[in-house]
Structure 1
Amino acid sequence: MALPASKKDLTYSSFEEFRQKTSFDFSKLDFNRPSICNSLLKLYDQGTLCLSTGEDEKAYMLLYRFFEGYLKLKSSKLYKQDRNYVENFISKEKLSKSMVVLETLNEQIKQRYQEREEEKKQITKIEPPKVQPEIKSPIIKNVINPTQFTDLIRQNVYTILLVDIRDQTDFENSRLNLDYLMTLEAKEKKLISYINIPGDLIDTTSWKIVDALAKKDSNSGQIFSQRKNFDFLIFFDLDSFFNDLKSDSKLMILKRAVYEFDLEKVKNEPVILDGGWSQWLVYYPACKTVSIQNNTCEPNAQEKKIHIEYSEVVEQNEVVQEPAQKPEEPNPKPTIDRTNKPKEKEKEKENAKVEPVLNPIENRQKNNLAENELNFKNSTLQNFLPTKILSRVNKPQLQANNYEPLNETIFNSVYAPRFKFLHTPFMKDGDNKVLNPVTGIFSYENKPGGFNAEAKVKNEKNVAKENKPALKRTFSSPNITDLENSAEDKPSGFKTLAKPLVDRANKPSMQENMMVSRIEDLEPVYAKIRPGLTGIRNLGNTCFMNSIIQCLSNTEPFVKYFLSGQFRKDLNRKNKLGFKGEIADEFAVIMNALWTGRFRVISTHRFKFLIEEFNQLFKSNEQQDAQEFLLFLLDGLHEDLNRVRIRPKISTQDDENCESPDKAWKDHLSMNNSIIVDLFQGQFRSTVTCSTCGKKSVKFDAFMYLTLPIFTSKCNLHECLDLFLRSENMSGESKWKCPNCKQYRDATKKIDIWKLPPLLIIHLKRFKYEGVWRDKITSNVDYPIENLDLNRFLTGPTVSGVSNNYRLYGITNHIGTMDGGHYISMCRHLEMDRWVKYDDSDVKELSSTSALKSPASYILFYSRY
Structure 2
Amino acid sequence: MAEGGAADLDTQRGEVAALLKTQLRKGDTWYLVDSHWFKQWKKYVGFDSWDKYQMGDQNVYPGPVDNSGLLRDGDVLAIKEHLIDELDYILVPTEGWNKLVSWYGLTEGQEPIARKVVEQGMFVKHCKVEVYLTELKLCEDSNMDNVITRRFSKADTIDMIEKEMRKLFSIPDEKETRLWNRYMSNTFEPLNKPDSTIQDAGLYQGQVKTCRMKSTSSGFFFFVDSQELMPQTRNSISTNSSYSLPSYHPYSNSYDYSDQSRQSERSGLCGLSNLGNTCFMNSAVQCLSNIPPLTEYFLKDKYTDELNEDNPLGMKGEIARAYAELIKQLWSGKYSYVTPRPFKTQVGRFAPQFSGYQQQDSHELLAFLLDGLHEDLNRIRKKPYIQLKDANGRPDKVVAEEAWENHIKRNDSIIVDIFHGLFKSTLVCPVCSKVSVTFDPFCYLTLPLPMKKERTLEVYLVRLDPLAKPTQYKLTVPKVGYISDLCTSLSTLSGVPAEKMIVTDIYNHRFHRIFATNENLSSIMERDDIYVVEDTDHVVIPVHLREKYKQSGYNHTSTPLFGQPFLIAVPRTLSEDKLYNMLLLREMETDEQDDESSQDQELPSENDNSQSEDSVGGDNELENGVVGPTNSTKGQQTAGHNRKRLFTFQFNNMGKTDFSLIKEDTRQIRFDEGHLRLSGRKSRLHMEYKPQKKAFFKLKDCIELFTTKEKLGAEDPWYCPNCKQHQQATKKLDLWSLPPVLVVHLKRFSYSRYMRDKLDSLVDFPLRDLDMSEFLINPNAGPCRYDLIAVSNHYGGMGGGHYTAYAKNKDDDKWYNYDDSSVSPANEDQIVSKAGYVLFYQRQDTVKGGQSHCGDRH
Could you say which structure has the higher helix fraction?
1
* Structure 1 length-normalised TM: 0.43
* Structure 2 length-normalised TM: 0.43
Could you say which structure has the higher strand fraction?
2
